[in-house]
Every structure is written in C-alpha cells, then in structure tokens.
Copies of this chain bind each other. A is one copy, B any other.
Amino acid sequence: METVSVALIGLGTIGTGVAKILLEHSDVLVSAAGRQVVLAKICDKDITTNRGITLPSEIMTTDIDSVANDKSISVVIELIGGLEPARTFVLKMLRAGKNVITANKALIAQHGQELFDTARGCGRTIAFEAAVCGGIPILGTLMTSLQANRVKSIHAIVNGTCNFILSQMEENGTNYNDAVKEAQRLGYAEANPAMDVDGTDSVQKLTILSQLAFGMTVDWKSIPRTGIEAVDAIDFRYARELGYKIKLLAVADASSNDIELHVSPTLVRKTDPLSRVSDAFNAVRVIGDCVGPVFFHGLGAGRMPTASAIVGDLIDTVLGRTAITAGALQLWNENKREAKRKDPNEFYGKSYLRMLVDDQPGVVHNISGVLGKHKISIASMIQHETTEPKQNGKPPVFLIIATHKSREGDMLEAINEMENISSVHGKVVRMRVLD
C-alpha cells in the first residue's frame, strides 16, 4: 500500500486534535484515502510542553526548514494561525513542492491572491475547509455539490464566540461583560476577544465565502462591519417583544444585480432557523437559484470538529480531488471576471433603532420628523413607562423604533441627525432586521 507523509506546523489545540486523528484513526484514513497516512513531522517552537497526547519524539522539531527540505513529505498542515510567520511558512512549503492545508481564515482573507497564485505557479494546492465554520462542510459544498446554482444569498453565523455571548444575554439575561467573561472561562473567547466581538473574524470568513460563492476577491477591511459590543441586555427584551432574536450575521446577498456584503448584529425572526442557533454553534443558510434554501448547522470551532475538517481536506488532497477543484475554480485568480459589489449606501433593508431620549413632549415628533425627511417609514415604536425614580425632572427613557425597508445611506444620515437632537442622549444603537 502507498504511503503519504504529512507534516504538522503548530501543535496547539487544533494541531493536537489533528495529530490525535492521524494516530488513532489510521484505519479510517486507510479506508478513506486508500493509502497509509503517516504523520512524519511536527514543527512547533515549543516541543516540550505536554499536550496530553503521546507523540514519537523523533518526529518533533523546532526547525521549519527541516520540514521544507524533507522530500518525503508531500502535505503540510499549517495551524499556527495569524498572518506571520504563517504566510512565510505556507509560501515556503508551496515552493518546496508540498500541498498545504490550513485553518487560517485571517491568512486566506488577507493574502488569498498571493497564496493561491503561488500554489498555481508551483502546481500545488491549498485546502482550507476548516477556515470557515470548523466542522460544517460548507466550503466543500459550495465548491462541489452546489456548483449548478447561481448563489442568491448566504446568511451565516460564523463566529461561535459572539453567538455564545449573544445566547447568554438572550437566554439568561446576562449583561455583555459577564457574558464575555463566561465565554472566556469556557474557552470560547480569548483573553483579548476583540477580533471576535468587533466582527473582524466574521468579515474575514465572509470574504472566503464570497470568493467561493461569487468568485469575488474582496478586501475584508472594505466590508461594512458592526460588532456586538454595543448590544445591550435590554435589546433582547425589545427584540423579543417585536418577535425577534439577535444574532451576529454575515450576509452576502446577490438577490439584486450587485452583491451586498456586511456583518452586523441582526434581528432574526423567532421562526427563522438561524434564530435557534445557540451557544457556540455556527450555521449557514445558502439560497441557490435551483436548490432553494439549504441550511447547515454544527460546531464551528473546537479541537475535534476543526480537526475533522482538516483531515477531510487531507483526504481530498491526497486523493487529488483538491487539485481538480482548484483547477476548475481558479480561486483568488486576478484574471477572473469579478462580480460587482453594491455601494454600501445603496443597501436596502429594515432597521432596529434604540436611543435614550428625554421623556417630554415633542421628542417623538422631532425623531419621526428626521426619519420622514430621509424617507424612512416607521413600522413599530416602543416606549415603556420608566420605573426609575425621578431625579432632576423625569429620567430619560429608551425609545425603540423598527423601520420599514430604507436605503442605507438615508439611514446613516438620519442616525447622524437624530444624535444631534438635544433630547436624544448619546449614540443611537442601530441593528439590521432580517425579513
């Protein structure tokens, strides 16, 4: 039986999971890949810490060049994360004639074109199923089974950390800071969760989904993005009153000619399956012009689900399916016809607005005047009598407005003007409403 030698760069949580599958599932691999898959080298700057898994010491190395120069190794799995030295290592491995597998969404989102051009130039492949939604096989599906379709839209919950935090706030009434702490305690959030909660991670994943669904090479920084930091426990109460839950959604909508891309906390109807995605789960709904809606739900992060996707990629790579797909799709190829992106000002949708206003005559009149001037029509308005004690006159109260569909540019201008009304205090919190 043929043997394939594989190297692993980065022995963190995911790397340990991959090593575990390669060592403990060898019968599964033989039957899936038709050959013996051998873990020939593991490269990490720290090869002494005990990871709770027994690894042959002779395959451990701190020397990246010993991986690149080992001619017997044909596949390298990059799991160090971040941009550098991951980028340098991946380029080095491709140039050394190795196929690469990575779970690194930041790397692919930032350097996709360079990496895939290099891979094409070297006649090698990069597989990256684990970069989006961990164990959910959404990338493979977009690249194969759904290829007969023109994708009409993608609505996705791609960040488990944010979904866990929002679920805690939704289900237990936890406030934002406590929910973040709980996520950190359980290992769902890092010590500095900025890249998750500010939506960076989600736009990077949306960039990858957009490449696969529309062949668009998008600068992830150009995608309009709102994080979950401004979502307050009180928003869940109002959203519930209106019939919604709140989810951080990554959206690619091609239902008009141009494609609308954004990431933002979004009110999702209670009857929509996306609203029922709880804890650290991820989900994706793809609507294709032929297949209609297809909904995927599963674990988007964690050691073994992510390792499952990586080893799936390994089997694809070893069997040569990855090379066929790469040849057909020409991902991140600058010569490809580009889909046109919609000007963010022309996005068109419903909004939820929360603002703190003085409880006095004329306030609603002023606010509705600003909305009317910008052609924004009010669908619902909620203002509850406050139970707080009076201090100097009446305390300010929350005013919640749900609007009918409006132009994004108009909405942003209206918010700006509303924030300048003297009886409106602080920022107007705005979320999208999916309907």
Q: Is A47 an interface residue (CB 8 A)?
A: no
Task: For chain A, residues 292 to 334, give those with C-beta under 8 angstroms from any C-beta of chain B.
Answer: 292-299, 302, 304-305, 307-312, 314-316, 319-321, 324-325, 327-329
The reply to whether A288 and B315 form a contact with Cβ atoms under 8 Å apart is no
Inter-chain CA distance A321–B143, complex, in Å, is 12
The yes or no answer to A345 lying at the interface (CB within 8 A) is: no
Interchain CB contact (< 8 A) of A299 among B291, B311, B315, B327: B291
A273 near B292 with CB under 8 A, answer: no
Write out the residue numbers on chain B whose beta carbons fall within 8 Å of the beta carbon of A308.
146, 148-149, 288, 290-291
Is the CB–CB distance between B315 and A320 below 8 Å? no
Chain B positions within 8 Å of A299 at CB level = 291-293
User: Are the C-beta atoms of B305 and A291 separated by less than 8 Å?
Assistant: yes
Measured CA separation A284–B291 after assembly (Å)? 16
A321 to B316, CA, bound (A): 10
Whether B135 pairs with A312 at a CB distance below 8 angstroms is no
Residues of B contacting A146 in the complex (Cβ-Cβ under 8 angstroms):
137, 308, 312
Inter-subunit contact B145/A294 (CB<8 Å): no
| Interface check A365, CB cutoff 8 A | no
Q: Which of A30-38, A169-177, A415-423 contacts B (4 or more CB under 8 A)?
A: A30-38
Contact B149 A145 (CB under 8 A): no
Task: Report whether B328 and A148 are in contact in the complex, using a CB–CB cutoff of 8 Å.
Answer: no
Let me know if A307 and B319 touch, CB within 8 A. no
**Distance of A85 Cα from B145 Cα, bound (Å):** 28
Indicate whether A292 sits within 8 Å of B304 (C-beta atoms), given known contacts A145-B140, A148-B21. yes
B298 and A295 contacting across the interface, CB-CB below 8 Å: yes
- Chain B residues with CB below 8 A from A129, complex form: 145
- Which residues of A come within 8 Å of B, CB atoms? 17, 21, 25, 28-29, 31-34, 129, 135-137, 140-141, 144-150, 215, 273, 276, 288-299, 302, 304-305, 307-312, 314-316, 319-321, 324-325, 327-329
